[in-house]
Chains A and B, each alone.
Chain A
Amino acid sequence: KAGVTQTPRYLIKTRGQQVTLSCSPISGHRSVSWYQQTPGQGLQFLFEYFSETQRNKGNFPGRFSGRQFSNSRSEMNVSTLELGDSALYLCASSSSEMNTEAFFGQGTRLTVV
């Protein structure tokens, strides 16, 4: 069974640009969560989708958004990039509606210059 796939692995963007990151969950998993990992703030929850519905959202500005498609693949978008958005963005896949194992992808390393 293939694991969680995140693309691209690395990305360099300029301040003010926007970026879209993609996550394909484990086959059959319907829940996708996104996390931001930085040296200063650690791992912080961005949002979670289940069956195309956002069920939970972390404390991030509206520049951070996401969506989930009918095949459970998810994308997250960051608009008007700031230097502080440089981070490792991790996607997690879970099989059921709540409180089960979450399996993470390798992450997308975003650098904003």
Chain B
Amino acid sequence: GEDVEQSLFLSVREGDSSVINCTYTDSSSTYLYWYKQEPGAGLQLLTYIFSNMDMKQDQRLTVLLNKKDKHLSLRIADTQTGDSAIYFCAESFSGGYNKLIFGAGTRLAVHP
């Protein structure tokens, strides 16, 4: 079935690294995505990874994918107060066209 799970809350100190975790159940996942949502705004696509990749790095963002455990993580290096937001993990899957299944979102709070 289609299910994506995330922890709901993460608090980090400014300058530290943040790691947001996600697990999914659909073995036919094709792409896995990370979106950011700030208050009152839509979803901003941060990065995505193809399901046959293990890692993708994009500036301060590193995505790790463990396909065997169906585990995805997003690491944000040198976390800043502007990174405070809700982060959503999402998957697309074979036969689903452009349908995305989202997790509940992880609220990241960055404090000085």
Q: Which residues of A contact B (CB under 8 A)?
A: 4, 6, 31, 33, 35, 42-43, 45, 48, 50, 55-56, 58, 90, 92, 94, 97-107
Q: Which residues of B contact A (CB under 8 A)?
A: 30-31, 33, 35, 41-45, 48, 88, 90, 92, 96-105
Q: Are A48 and B105 in contact (CB under 8 A)?
A: no
Q: Are A31 and B43 in contact (CB under 8 A)?
A: no
Contacts of A4 in B (CB 8 A): 42
The answer to whether residues A56 and B97 also contact, given A90-B42, A104-B42, A104-B43 and a CB cut-off of 8 A, is yes
Q: Are B42 and A50 in contact (CB under 8 A)?
A: no
Q: List 22 A-B contacts (CB under 8 A).
A: A4-B42, A33-B100, A35-B102, A43-B88, A43-B102, A45-B101, A48-B97, A48-B98, A56-B96, A56-B97, A56-B98, A92-B98, A92-B100, A98-B96, A98-B97, A99-B30, A99-B92, A102-B45, A104-B42, A104-B44, A106-B41, A106-B42
